[in-house]
Amino acid sequence: MIDWNSQTELILDSTVFLKFMHVLSGLYFWEFISSLDFEWGFFTGKKRFQYPAVFYFLNRYFLLFTMVGILIALDTTTKIDCQALYTFNQIMGQSASGLASINLSIRTMALWSHHRWIVIPIVIIILGHWSLILQGVLVKASWVDGQGCLVTGSNNTILAATFIYSMCFDLIILLLSMYKLVIGVKGGRSQLMTLLFKDGLVYFIIAFLSNLLATVFIMLNLNAIMSVIFNVPAAIFSTIVACRAVRRLTNFSTRGPELFSSGTGHSFRVAHPATSTNTIGISPGLPAHGTIGHKSKLSDGVHVQMQTYAVTDEDHAYNYLSEGRRPSSSACYPEMGDAEISVELKRPPSC
């Protein structure tokens, strides 16, 4: 049977930990650099900055600073304050995991149109999560001559509680989103709703499995190194899938016209290739008057007049981190084949 606390095993585990962290650092640096064009869109004004973007940027950069700190701790040959550095890495890494959950919870609150009976419980859960994240020093490290900074101990109780809390939090967010996107929808789902469903499910599976793996090794408590070896992968995978979900939603545009029905009304969605989506919904309970003129030539067009319109619930989720570009005139009056459809609303479009 392996003696996990023997000197030989600790040296071997330290070597594995060092190489594993370098692989994970390379993975995250590649993900970070390959998605910098998204940040550039905010600096150039192509994307409108709204408050959810704050959590997105904090999530990415907190984890970036964590990985840089880990590499410094592992590769430095000069004696440093290992405890201070590992405390910084621990707090920033745990915060990145918490921010990943916040990024997904914001989408859920938007899906529920920021209903207070949904927002208030989620905010309370978030505060409880961060009360565990900011508990203080959970990992102990010291400088060993000839080896560098080594992990010498950890508070496994708080670490395990934090990861279990994260898994329960993610499960609640998933259930709320799935109810709104599946059970609460009567009729077909739009492309946007399908995107939200898939991204939410993928995030939960990846985050749950990575947090579960970290929790198992924390509870096993084989030794100080093995207890924390999977904490970093949990933060990295959660951050990657959460940030990708944010980018996919922000850059979302449908590939063509959609006609679908829901409990709140019927919606016809048309997307222009160069712009974001525009949704016009007609509530069945509201009067709608229109005139359709038929011409002998299709090019003469079909003119429709509507007095009322409604916005579907899914637009709250799409607009929570929308781009700041104003739609062009072609987006307000898209062309479909040779037919031209012009819509005259009671309130004219601001183009």
Verify that 128 and 101 share a domain, yes or no: yes
- CATH code where residue 189 lies: 1.20.1070
Domain that holds residue 329: 258-344
* Number of domains composing the chain: 2
pLDDT tens per residue across span 164-210: 999 999 999 989 888 888 776 665 566 777 777 788 888 989 989 99
Verify that 212 and 304 share a domain, yes or no: no
Q: Is 189 part of any domain?
A: yes
Verify that 246 and 265 share a domain, yes or no: no
Verify that 192 and 296 share a domain, yes or no: no
Q: Is the pLDDT of residue 160 over 70?
A: yes
Distances in whole angstroms, Cα of residue 328 to Cα of each of 27, 38, 234, 276, 351: 39, 22, 43, 10, 6
Verify that 237 and 264 share a domain, yes or no: no
Verify that 118 and 262 share a domain, yes or no: no
Q: How far apart are the first and last CA of the chain?
A: 73
Verify that 320 and 263 share a domain, yes or no: yes
Q: Which of 204, 234, 250 is the last residue of a domain?
A: 250
Q: Is 350 part of any domain?
A: no
Lowest mean pLDDT among 54-63, 111-120, 142-151: 142-151
Q: Residue 224's pLDDT is what?
A: 85
- Contact in structure between 28 and 64 (CB atoms under 8 Å): yes
Q: Is 262 part of any domain?
A: yes
Lowest mean pLDDT among 63-77, 121-135, 226-240, 292-306: 292-306
Q: Residue 54's pLDDT is what?
A: 92
User: Quick one: pLDDT band at residue 91, thresholds 50, 70, 90?
Assistant: very high
Q: Which of 198, 224, 250 is the last residue of a domain?
A: 250
User: Quick one: pLDDT band at residue 236, thresholds 50, 70, 90?
Assistant: very high
Verify that 263 and 311 share a domain, yes or no: yes
Q: Is 349 part of any domain?
A: no
Q: Which of 229, 250, 271 is the last residue of a domain?
A: 250
Verify that 245 and 297 share a domain, yes or no: no
